[in-house]
């Protein structure tokens, strides 16, 4: 893992590449938990929420016991209970808060919850702790080439119900996978929004760590083998940016190597980065790849 130290007062636009082998990177509950795909192109999709979950879980596992690094979006968590903590700590009345009370609760949530000051949150439901627009935003990730979702039959020797044990020795099950997919996602860091949420240099360094290592904590049989393959960060001297993000992202390409029609591993791709003639005020950091 690379320890990344980038200036939180600069704007950063980044690309990350990750792949999956024989697994389901992000199931779609509207399609029987099959891997998400664009139905017109059959490119695979992974939501920003799925990637943020890996980041949240890494932060929680590594520094979650530390002050100011709690995670707001917890598994089976109750969000209004989280909001109420702010009012209780500040000795405020959550039943009839005024604008000043809400702003104080909002500031407390930003200070104490890493993912609130990083990604933002809508906390105006029920117990009103305001709304936060976070400085770190991610897009959906999309596979570079079409993927082939497969619904694989599996058997198990254990029977679910005792009544069935006399009539059968195995039961059938299903597992949804893609044989292989290389996915590309984009991210954006806005230092102006970081000033509002209190997101600082330690938070930014932790984010890069979590983006690299969060995949290691998310191992499961359904995921197959997933790995981060590349992380490329374009940094701007001007907090508002020195160039449009898409013109920088176009400099990173990943293409199939010659004679490969059905990719099954990362080495079946060539990743190229055009570092010549970057716009004035823009630098590129290759964190990985």
Distance of alpha carbon 123 from alpha carbon 208, whole angstroms: 26
Q: What integer pLDDT is reported at residue 10 of this predicted model?
A: 98
- pLDDT tens string 242-266: 999 999 999 999 999 999 999 999 9
pLDDT category of residue 218 using cuts at 50, 70 and 90: very high
pLDDT at residue number 2: 81
Closest to 210 (Cα-Cα) out of 80, 74, 101, 115: 115
Q: What is the pLDDT of residue 158?
A: 84
Is the model more confident about 118 or about 166? Answer: 118
Higher-confidence residue of 123 and 125: namely 123
Residue 140: which pLDDT band, with cuts at 50, 70 and 90? very high
The percent of residues in the chain predicted with pLDDT above 90, rounded, is: 88
Residue 50 pLDDT > 90, yes or no?
yes
Distance CA 173, CA 151 (A): 10
Tokens 């609760």 belong to which residue?
105
pLDDT in tens, 144-174: 999 999 999 888 888 888 887 878 878 888 8
SS3 110: helix
CA 140/CA 289 separation, integer angstroms: 21
**Residue 47's pLDDT band (cuts 50, 70, 90):** very high
Distance between CA 83 and CA 132 in Å, rounded?
A: 13
pLDDT of residue 79: 96
Query: pLDDT digit string (tens) for 70-100?
Result: 999 998 889 999 999 999 999 999 999 999 9
- Whether 19 shows a pLDDT value over 90: the answer reads yes
Res 146: pLDDT:
97
Is the predicted pLDDT of residue 1 greater than 90, yes or no? no
């Amino acid at each position: 893992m690379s320890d990344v130290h980038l200036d939180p007062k600069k704007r950063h636009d980044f690309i990350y590449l990750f792949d999956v082998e024989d697994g389901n990177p992000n199931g779609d509950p509207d399609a029987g938990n099959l891997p998400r795909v664009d139905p017109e192109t059959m490119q695979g999709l992974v939501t920003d929420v799925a990637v943020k979950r890996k980041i949240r879980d890494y932060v929680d596992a590594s520094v979650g016991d530390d002050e100011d690094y709690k995670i707001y979006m917890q598994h089976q968590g109750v969000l209004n209970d989280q909001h109420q903590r702010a009012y209780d700590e500040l000795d405020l009345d959550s039943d009839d808060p005024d604008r000043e009370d809400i702003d104080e609760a909002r500031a407390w949530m930003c200070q104490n919850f890493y993912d609130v000051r990083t990604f933002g949150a809508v906390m105006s439901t029920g117990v009103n702790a305001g709304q936060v627009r976070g400085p770190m935003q991610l897009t959906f990730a999309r596979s570079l080439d079409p993927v082939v979702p497969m619904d694989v039959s599996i058997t198990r020797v254990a029977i679910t119900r005792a009544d069935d044990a006399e009539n059968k020795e195995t039961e059938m099950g299903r597992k949804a996978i893609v044989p292989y997919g290389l996915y590309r996602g984009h991210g954006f860091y806005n230092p102006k929004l970081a000033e509002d949420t209190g997101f600082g240099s330690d938070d930014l360094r932790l984010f890069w760590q979590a983006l690299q290592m969060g995949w290691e904590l998310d191992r499961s049989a359904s995921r197959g083998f997933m790995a981060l393959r590349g992380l490329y960060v374009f940094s701007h001297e001007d907090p508002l940016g020195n160039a449009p993000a898409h013109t920088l992202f176009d400099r990173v390409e990943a293409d199939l190597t010659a004679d490969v029609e059905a990719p099954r591993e990362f080495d079946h791709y060539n990743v190229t980065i055009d570092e010549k003639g970057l716009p004035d005020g823009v630098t590129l950091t290759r964190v990985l790849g």
